[in-house]
Amino acid sequence: MTSVTTHCPYCSLQCGMRLTGRRSLEVSAWEEFEVNEGKLCRKGWSAAGLHGSRERLTTPLLRDRATGEFRAVGWDEALDLVAARIGALQAVHGSDAVAVFGGGGLTNEKAYQLGKFARAVLRTSQIDYNGRWCMSSAASAGTRALGLDRGLPFPLADVERTDVLVLVGSNLAETMPPAARHLDRLRERGGRVVVIDPRRTPTAERADLFVQPVPGTDLALALGVLHVLVASGAVDADYLASRTTGFAGVRDSVAAWWPERVERVTGVGADQVRELAALLASRVRAGGPGDPGERARVMVLTARGAEQHSTGSDTVLAWINVALALGQCGREYAGYGCLTGQGNGQGGREHGQKADQLPGYRSITDPAARAHVAGVWGVDPESLPGKGRSAYELLMALGTEDGPKAMLVHGSNIVLSAPNAAVVAERLAALDLLVVADIVLSETAALADVVLPVTQWAEESGTMTNLEGRVILRQRAVTPPAGVRTDLEVLAGLAARLGSPVELATDPEEVFTELRAASAGGPADYSGITWQRIRDEQGVFWPCPDGPTPHPGTPRMFLERFGHPDGLARFHVVEHRGPAEVPDEDYPVHLTTGRVLAQYQSGAQTRRIRDLPDTGPFVELHPLLAMRLGTCDGEPVEVTTRRGTMVAPARVSEAIRPDTVFVPFHWAGVNRLTNDALDPASRMPEFKACAARVAVAPAVLPSGVEPVEVPA
Ligand SMILES: Nc1nc2c(c(=O)[nH]1)N[C@H]1C(S)=C(S)[C@@H](COP(=O)(O)OP(=O)(O)OC[C@H]3O[C@@H](n4cnc5c(=O)[nH]c(N)nc54)[C@H](O)[C@@H]3O)O[C@H]1N2
Ligand SMILES: Nc1nc2c(c(=O)[nH]1)N[C@H]1C(S)=C(S)[C@@H](COP(=O)(O)OP(=O)(O)OC[C@H]3O[C@@H](n4cnc5c(=O)[nH]c(N)nc54)[C@H](O)[C@@H]3O)O[C@H]1N2
Ligand code: SF4
Ligand SMILES: [Mo]
């Protein structure tokens, strides 16, 4: 029996856990790891449920053209076929005929290698990943305002040491449950928690102030809060002068956002807008009286509720404006942060699986970055392709005249998790070749021409970068099942068959060493991090450049200067636009979507774990709406948008606004309804707001039976 310390396979908290195993695999607490202090949510405790499960893929599958069925084949046959068809398609249509789709759950080593495989082996520009569905709006806003995007620019535990915490569109009590203890401890110390969400979630139950806006109106709320702060003279003039630029324009732009106007747009009472602003400008101090002259420390954290909108990046900018105006960014235990989502939501966005990016968070259009990375790879900088299409635009181009004809997917269950999913499924069907590497036969893998079975987390090692920018190490605990390969081996196998000009290592530590060199000098500099340091130090925070003496890593950023060349933070003028689709006569309610505690993402992994409840989707709606529709709890209701329709049981709850319904996306259905309007800056789709019609579901009749008209 071996026992290793490692991290959970799911969300960005990357809780530390101990795995003991050989045949069976047991999860136990790793108390010393400070991020979760031995706590796990039920997904973490049950994570070993896919070990030895019949649901695991253990052999490559090839779709038989005659029957349409899969048949099991050997690895050589599968990889030979994929390489031959890639070669043939590229010979006819050019390099960009092949696309690569990655995931924010992949280790840093895999994300890096996927980018290298696309640019140096396939020479395609067509690579992007599911991080576009996730935190791309916050990343885009953070880069523009603060000059550098690291989800949380401080350790998560700093949450306990602020005075006023504002959560905009985060339900962390269900999406990262061990993190909720920081909210409890902050309140025990006398700090205040504000939660902004159209639903009174378990997170909102912990709030001192709960604000319940109409979906998609957070931007207007932020403008209103800043209006009150300006009007009451609460802005920090010294800070504005010494650490920021651009406030004057923003000040003028919020002049017209008086609280009564905000109330009309957001549904949040004008008094509550004033109350929120007053709290932010207050002298509330957690943990004792403090210096009476010193203003409260304010920490604003956004998550998907604020970000997954066609106005998501402007919304984040508006909240950063609020934090900057109060002098909070770059102050200890205060400032702005984004709660990333996927296990490697942070590292996955730094090492080159994004359409416009090279390793180290470098831009693919920057000649110096191209020269540096080409040097590490041993290729001519000229040979590196340019910027490709963003995730949703890439999916929409599949199988079109000038779009890719083949796609390789590593780490995303696209047909469930992309917006407007029925159209996405049509695009996948239009491909000449769809290859999916996965650990289970996900709904997307089930559509593939070739399925490649890969190892899961406990069967391989690799680094992840958690929501704090802390690079941590997952360690292998058990031998993989016979027949599966790692993603790194798959990529190396294809590269060899494609006559690759570059070597692709298969040992993850070797890949990390290369990643360090490729990231050196970039914004996300990992060059001073080693696997041994990670083991010794409970992770290392980037940036951590290599040098003659070991760099300590950077737990807290921006204390001295922001990431822009002049060291100043930038205010940005942003306007409220609202969601691309708002309710009207035909579609009178808002539909929003999100998560429940016991399921993860598209559910590809967690729906296959027996210890987790698999309830199927539901439609959360308010008793007033239920009454109007004539339905009650548990009865099937039909939700329809301009794109599709679904039926699921009603879950009647006073926790939600009466004008809004909520459906989780862990099961097929709701993404056939969601809107694919994209944020212009980040290309993030609008998962969190569209217009819908809800009705009592028509009785399900056997086919051929016509409903009978009952006379009144
Ligand atoms: N249990 C569980 N945990 C997870 C995941 C999972 O699938 N399951 N996934 C992980 C990933 S990848 C991510 S990205 C994170 C996401 O973590 P969160 O962002 O916390 O999760 P969501 O449920 O998507 O959205 C949060 C809240 O936004 C609210 N909301 C909806 N519309 C709006 C709006 O217009 N404005 C505001 N202010 N709020 C709105 C929803 O009601 C919801 O309560 O979770 C991570 N953790
Ligand atoms: N309506 C709605 N839709 C949403 C959201 C929402 O809030 N509402 N949220 C969006 C967000 S934030 C996200 S992050 C996406 C997530 O949605 P997806 O991108 O679909 O994420 P997962 O369901 O985690 O899919 C990961 C797939 O990769 C497989 N996998 C896991 N580990 C590995 C590995 O190491 N290698 C390989 N090759 N495969 C692996 C898993 O089995 C699974 O099939 O969904 C987005 N979609
Ligand atoms: S909170 Fe996230 S990382 Fe922690 S156990 Fe749950 S799913 Fe895993
Ligand atoms: Mo996410």
The CATH code of the domain that includes 290 is 3.40.228.10
Q: Is 178 in the pocket of ligand 3 (CB under 6 A)?
A: yes
Q: Is 602 in the pocket of ligand 2 (CB under 6 A)?
A: yes
Q: Is 440 in the pocket of ligand 2 (CB under 6 A)?
A: yes
Q: In ligand 3, which atom is closest to the CA atom of 44?
A: 5
Q: In ligand 3, which atom is closest to the CA atom of 178?
A: 1
Q: In ligand 1, which atom is closest to the CA atom of 688?
A: 32
Ligand nearest to C-alpha 342: 1
Q: In ligand 2, which atom is closest to the CA atom of 605?
A: 42
81 and 44 within one domain: no
Cα–Cα distance measured from residue 456 to residue 9, given in angstroms and rounded to the nearest whole number = 8
Which residues pair with residue 109 across a beta bridge? Answer: none
Give the Å distance between the CA of 279 and the centre of ligand 3. Answer: 32
Cα–Cα distance measured from residue 310 to residue 593, given in angstroms and rounded to the nearest whole number = 15
Q: What is the CATH number of the domain that holds 363?
A: 3.40.50.740
Ligand nearest to C-alpha 409: 2
Q: For the chain, what percent of residues have pLDDT higher than 70?
A: 98
Which DSSP symbol is given to 33?
-
Q: Whose CA is nearest to atom 10 of ligand 1?
A: 341
The arithmetic mean of pLDDT across residues 433-453, rounded, is 98
The arithmetic mean of pLDDT across residues 64-90, rounded, is 96
User: Does residue 711 lie in a domain region?
Assistant: no
Q: Is 198 in the pocket of ligand 1 (CB under 6 A)?
A: yes
Q: In ligand 3, which atom is closest to the CA atom of 177?
A: 1
Ligand 1 pocket test, pick from 11, 612, 682 with the greatest ligand atom count within 8 Å of Cβ, gives 11
Nearest CA-CA partner of 472 in 410, 524, 542: 542
Those residues whose C-beta lies under 8 Å from the C-beta of residue 137, and which sit 6 or more positions away, are 307, 308, 309, 312, 313, 315, 316, 679, 681, 682, 684
Nearest CA-CA partner of 4 in 18, 16, 15, 14: 18
* Phi, psi for residue 214 in degrees, rounded to 5: -65, 140
Range in 168-177, 290-299, 321-330, 553-562 with the lowest mean pLDDT? 290-299
Q: Is 689 in the pocket of ligand 1 (CB under 6 A)?
A: yes
Residue by residue, DSSP assigns 111-123 as HHHHHHIIIIII-
Q: Give the pair of three-digit tokens for residue 140.
A: 């885009």
Q: Which helix (H) or strand (E) holds 466?
A: none
Q: In ligand 1, which atom is closest to the CA atom of 43?
A: 1
Q: Is 674 in the pocket of ligand 2 (CB under 6 A)?
A: yes
Q: Is 176 in the pocket of ligand 1 (CB under 6 A)?
A: yes
Cα–Cα distance measured from residue 18 to residue 699, given in angstroms and rounded to the nearest whole number = 50
pLDDT grade, residue 712 (50/70/90)? very low
pLDDT grade, residue 552 (50/70/90)? very high
Nearest CA-CA partner of 234 in 317, 174, 164: 164
Residue by residue, DSSP assigns 219-253 as HHHHHHHHHHHHHTT-S-HHHHHHHEE-HHHHHHH
The confidence score (pLDDT) of residue 703 equals: 64
Q: In ligand 1, which atom is closest to the CA atom of 203?
A: 44
Q: Is 305 in the pocket of ligand 1 (CB under 6 A)?
A: yes
**Residue 550 predicted with pLDDT over 80:** yes
201 and 290 within one domain: yes
Q: Give the pair of three-digit tokens for residue 144.
A: 């523009």
pLDDT in tens, 467-514: 999 999 999 999 999 999 999 999 999 999 999 999 999 999 999 999
pLDDT grade, residue 699 (50/70/90)? confident
Q: In ligand 2, which atom is closest to the CA atom of 663?
A: 1
Cα–Cα distance measured from residue 667 to residue 660, given in angstroms and rounded to the nearest whole number = 20
Q: Is 511 in the pocket of ligand 2 (CB under 6 A)?
A: no
Residue 450 is which amino acid? V
Those residues whose C-beta lies under 8 Å from the C-beta of residue 245, and which sit 6 or more positions away, are 566, 568, 569, 570, 571
- Looking at the structure of the chain, the number of domains it has is 4
Q: Which alpha helices (H) appear in 247-311, and where do they start and end?
A: 247-253, 259-266, 270-280, 304-307
The answer to whether 154 and 297 are in contact (CB under 8 A) is no
pLDDT grade, residue 21 (50/70/90)? confident
397 and 282 within one domain: no
Q: What is the CATH number of the domain that holds 36?
A: 2.20.25.90
SS3 557: coil
Q: Where are the beta strands (DSSP E) in 103-146?
A: 127-129
Cα–Cα distance measured from residue 697 to residue 695, given in angstroms and rounded to the nearest whole number = 6
pLDDT in tens, 269-316: 999 999 999 999 999 898 887 788 899 999 999 999 999 999 999 999
User: Does residue 571 lie in a domain region?
Assistant: no
Cα–Cα distance measured from residue 119 to residue 495, given in angstroms and rounded to the nearest whole number = 12
Give the Å distance between the CA of 397 and the centre of ligand 1. Answer: 28
What range does the domain containing 71 cover? 61-134+345-458+474-506
Q: Is 341 in the pocket of ligand 2 (CB under 6 A)?
A: yes
The answer to whether 458 and 6 are in contact (CB under 8 A) is yes
The confidence score (pLDDT) of residue 711 equals: 57
Cα–Cα distance measured from residue 293 to residue 571, given in angstroms and rounded to the nearest whole number = 26
Cα–Cα distance measured from residue 602 to residue 323, given in angstroms and rounded to the nearest whole number = 34
User: Does residue 394 lie in a domain region?
Assistant: yes
Give the Å distance between the CA of 21 and the centre of ligand 1. Answer: 33
Ligand 3 pocket test, pick from 10, 17, 340, 464 with the greatest ligand atom count within 8 Å of Cβ, gives 10
Residue 485 is which amino acid? R
Cα–Cα distance measured from residue 104 to residue 353, given in angstroms and rounded to the nearest whole number = 9
Q: Is 306 in the pocket of ligand 1 (CB under 6 A)?
A: yes
Enter the pTM of the model: 0.97
User: Does residue 559 lie in a domain region?
Assistant: no
User: Does residue 187 lie in a domain region?
Assistant: yes
Give the Å distance between the CA of 10 and the centre of ligand 4. Answer: 10
- Helices 75-93 + 487-497 axis angle, to 10: 60
User: Does residue 272 lie in a domain region?
Assistant: yes
The answer to whether 457 and 486 are in contact (CB under 8 A) is no
The confidence score (pLDDT) of residue 258 equals: 98
Q: In ligand 1, which atom is closest to the CA atom of 216?
A: 35
Torsion sign (Cα): 418, 424, 428, 429: positive
Q: Whose CA is nearest to atom 36 of ligand 2?
A: 411
Q: Is 44 in the pocket of ligand 3 (CB under 6 A)?
A: yes
Q: Cβ–Cβ contacts within 10 Å for residue 628, how many?
A: 12
356 and 291 within one domain: no
The arithmetic mean of pLDDT across residues 224-240, rounded, is 98
Q: Is 43 in the pocket of ligand 3 (CB under 6 A)?
A: yes
Q: Is 15 in the pocket of ligand 3 (CB under 6 A)?
A: yes
The arithmetic mean of pLDDT across residues 207-215, rounded, is 98
Structural domain ending residue among the three candidates 279, 304, 338: 338
SS3 298: strand
315 and 172 within one domain: yes
Q: Give the pair of three-digit tokens for residue 222.
A: 């932020």
Q: Is 10 in the pocket of ligand 3 (CB under 6 A)?
A: yes
Q: Is 137 in the pocket of ligand 1 (CB under 6 A)?
A: no
212 and 147 within one domain: yes
Nearest CA-CA partner of 160 in 33, 34, 310: 34
Q: Cβ–Cβ contacts within 10 Å for residue 294, how many?
A: 10
The answer to whether 179 and 207 are in contact (CB under 8 A) is no
93 and 27 within one domain: no
Q: In ligand 2, which atom is closest to the CA atom of 342?
A: 14
Cα–Cα distance measured from residue 73 to residue 453, given in angstroms and rounded to the nearest whole number = 11
SS3 477: coil
For 647, counting Cβ atoms within 10 Å of its Cβ (0-12 exposed, 13-18 middle, 19+ buried), the class is middle
Q: What is the CATH number of the domain that holds 681?
A: 2.40.40.20
249 and 150 within one domain: yes
Cα–Cα distance measured from residue 33 to residue 151, given in angstroms and rounded to the nearest whole number = 20
502 and 389 within one domain: yes
161 and 116 within one domain: no
200 and 314 within one domain: yes
Cα–Cα distance measured from residue 277 to residue 230, given in angstroms and rounded to the nearest whole number = 10
Cα–Cα distance measured from residue 430 to residue 407, given in angstroms and rounded to the nearest whole number = 11
| Mean pLDDT of all residues belonging to the chain | 96
User: Does residue 251 lie in a domain region?
Assistant: yes
Q: Is 672 in the pocket of ligand 2 (CB under 6 A)?
A: no
User: Does residue 535 lie in a domain region?
Assistant: no
Give the Å distance between the CA of 255 and the centre of ligand 4. Answer: 35
Q: Where are the beta strands (DSSP E) in 131-248?
A: 164-168, 192-196, 209-211, 244-245
319 and 180 within one domain: yes
Which DSSP symbol is given to 625?
H
